Structure 1
Amino acid sequence: MSRQIVTSSDINRTDFAPDKDNQTSIVTDLKSLFKLPVLIANAVPVFAGFWLAIYFTETSFATHFNIFLLTLIGSTLVMAGALVFNNWYEADIDTVMERTKGRPTVTGNISMQTIRWIGIAASGFGFLLLAFTTLEAIIYALIGWVTYVVFYTMWSKRRYTLNTVIGSISGAVTPLIGWAALEPASHIVPIVLALIIFIWQMPHTFAIAIRKYDEYKAANVAMLPVVHGMEMTKRQMVIYIACLLPLPFYLFSLGTAFVVIATLLNIGYLVLAISGLFAKDTRKWADKMFMVSVNYLMVIFVAAIVVTLPWFG
């Protein structure tokens, strides 16, 4: 019997190389599972709330850096856990909607049991970290989690058009968490910032609902344009954005520059919303509204941080 000798040159070394495509797929799945853009968008107001609490109490950021890390990481994990539970619960809806068909809950790349445990672990560890801050911060985080997971995801989203209002509460608590980790959030600044987020989320979500009207209708999700039509949705968007107009004037303590920036942004946002009442191509107009709204909050909170930097002015 002849014996075959295998040399190193005969070996296909790629058999032993890491599967880059598989690694990329895992990263992509995790980004989708945690809804990374949404997670980042919610982390910024937490940071802003904490930063502004430092500014108004005239304390040192370096002195409270440990609390800052606990607050930011803890609240982000709590939010991540809530978003994972949302994905887990809405797997049946996501199979119908085109924009969500790539989520691991649909593709099966991650088992539903694993996803549920990820949600539990992220939420639990997040609350554990927040336990080293203040009770008030924990309460706000708990309100956000329960509102998003129970009252929005599990109860109202499929039944009532008010699901958007209910879901907006979970986003509105973010600056309150950041501020309350350092000081009681009874100050006018975190309260108004929370109101801005709460009101903003309605026109923002309605713009998405108009853009994805066919998908929401196919999935039988009770979004406002699906249930009551485009014209009512447009009118409500105008009303909600108009409600944003007076809010910057309660934030004069942040300086004139901030009030001017926020007011000009609100006026531009409102003008675009009003133009939708006369738009012939509603979908194209909704695309513009979405692009403005998706950047609106970032501009507001980055501006609030910048104008309170030591070197500003």
Structure 2
Amino acid sequence: MPTESKLLSFLTDMKYLLKGKVLIANVLPVFTAYWLALHFSGARFMDHLGLFLLTMAGSTLVISGALMLNNWYESDLDTKMERTRNRPTVTGAFPLRAVLWAGSITTVIGLSIMMFTTYEAAAYSFLGWFFYVVLYTFWSKRKYTLNTIIGSISGAFTPLIGWAVITPADHIVPVALFYLLFIWQIPHTLAIAIKRLEDYTRAGVPMLPVVSGIGVTIRQIIVYVIVLLPLPFILIGPLGWIFFTFALALTLGWTILVAMGPKTKDKKVWAQMNVRYSILYLVLILLAMIILTAF
């Protein structure tokens, strides 16, 4: 029993260190774009199984390394925020020096693995890491509300990684996926910032609702969700009318939800609804792309 308890505690700490949901949300677009690149290039999955394993291992390690370095650098902020107090960098379960080394080594191994795929995919992997670790974590998060935009650029590189492993990412589909991931992350993150306003205020992080207020933030969320509306139209050609109808319905549903924001009394409940819907939106959009090209 003590051994099982220690193992469970270790796995729980690893989940917090790697921000489990965030890791999955970044790896899923890599796989989706890889799958779509196979489909549109006429390649067979089993003919590229080794390449697939390299891609998923390398990209996951690069993303994991970035997340660990983020936790290492932000440990002082995490002590002030209720939602991050269970991270092992705060509780002391993992020494900060060990996390720094783990994040650095994991990043190097991941990028090295990606070099065995294509140089373009490796370049996108590095750019995603660089935007998240250097430009977002080290430079902008503590200084500018622009940090949300920079963090969103980082996450938008993930589909380019998966696509570029198979064929150059100069196709409308990976460009549309970059657009989707970039725009999607902004209202998703701003909704989290409203929900966790006290946390960010206490930690002194200049998120938009902290600096400009909830009203301005809600208006920004509405604008960015509306900007997602062209996506289904862009992808009619490659993915067809079934995807178009499904994606448009999901986007209109989110548009209606965000439009309720200014008149909703409990803004935090509204923000939580948007966080949940945004996650569902992204997962369903990506799964629809995979399923519709599987047959």
- For this structure pair, what is the TM-score category when the shorter chain's length is used for normalisation? over 0.9
CA distance in 2, matches of 1:193, 1:256: 17
The AA in structure 1 aligned to 2:283 is M
List gaps (5 residues or longer) in structure 1: 1-16
Among residues 268, 282, 293, which one is paired with 1:283 in the alignment? 268
SS in 1 for 2:86: coil
Quote the residue 1:224 is aligned against: 208
Q: Which residue of 2 aligns with 1:264?
A: 249
Query: What is the one-letter code of the residue matched to 1:246?
Result: P
Equivalent in the alignment of 1:153: 137
Shift of 1:128: 1.2
- The correspondence of residues 136-215 of structure 1 with structure 2, limited to 5 A, is 136-215=120-199
Q: How far did 1:20 drift?
A: 2.2
Task: Write out per-residue CA displacement over residues 181-229 of structure 1, whole angstroms, 9 at most, x where no aligned residue.
Answer: 0100000001001101100101000110000000100000010000000
Cα distance between partner residues in 1 of 2:209 and 2:2: 47
Distance 1:69 1:131 in 2: 13
Give the corresponding residue for 1:33: 17
Question: So what's the TM-score if we normalise by structure 2?
Answer: 0.98
Deviations 1:224-277 (A, max 9, x none): 000000000000000000000011111121111111111000000001001001
Structure 1 residue 113: Cα displacement: 1.0
- Give distance in 1, aligned partners of 2:62 and 2:276: 27
Q: CA deviation at 1:19?
A: 2.6
Q: Which amino acid aligns with 2:243?
A: F
Look up the equivalent residue of 1:280 and give its one-letter code: K
Counterpart of 1:77 (choices 48, 61, 75) is: 61
The alignment partner of 1:19 has SS state of helix
Greater C-alpha radius of gyration = 1
- Following the alignment from structure 1 to structure 2, what is the Cα–Cα distance between the partners of residues 20 and 48? 35
- Aligned-pair CA distance for 1:72: 1.0
Partner of residue 242, structure 1: 226
**Aligned residue number for residue 12 of structure 1:** none
Letter matched to residue 291 of structure 1: R
1:124 aligns with 2:99: no
Q: Could you tell me the percent identity over the aligned residues?
A: 50
Runs of 4+ in 1 over 6 A off after TM superposition: none
Shift of 1:287: 1.1
Instruction: Give a deviation string over 1:104-141, Cα, whole Å, max 9, x none.
Output: 10111111111011101211111111111001001111
| Structure 2 letter corresponding to 1:103 | R
Residue among 299, 304, 308 paired with 2:284: 299
- The 2-side partners of 1:220 and 1:57 are apart by 48
Rounded to whole Å, the distance in 2 between the matches of 1:281 and 1:120 is 42
- Give the counterpart of 2:3 among 19, 30, 53: 19
Aligned residue type for 1:305 = I
CA distance in 1, matches of 2:223, 2:165: 33
The 2-side partners of 1:248 and 1:133 are apart by: 30
Could you say which residue in structure 2 is the equivalent of 1:255?
240
- How far, CA to CA, are the matches of 1:114 and 1:83 in structure 2? 14
1:49 aligns with 2:64: no
Please report the TM-score for the alignment, with normalisation by the length of structure 1. 0.93
Greater percentage in helix? 2
| Equivalent residue letter for 1:276 | G
CA distance in 2, matches of 1:286, 1:169: 22
Aligned partner letter, 1:249 = F
Q: Equivalents in 2 of 1:18, 1:25: separation in Å?
A: 10
Alignment length, in residue pairs?
Answer: 294
Whole-angstrom CA distance in 2 between matches of 1:118 and 1:31? 15
Quote how far apart the aligned CAs of 1:24 are: 1.2
**Structure 2 counterpart of 1:5:** none
Partner residue, 1:10: none
Aligned letter for 2:210?
V
Ranges in structure 2 where 5+ consecutive residues have no aligned partner:
none
**Corresponding letter in the other structure for 2:83:** R
State the Cα distance separating 1:18 from its structure 2 match: 4.4
Q: CA deviation at 1:65?
A: 0.9
2:78 maps to 94
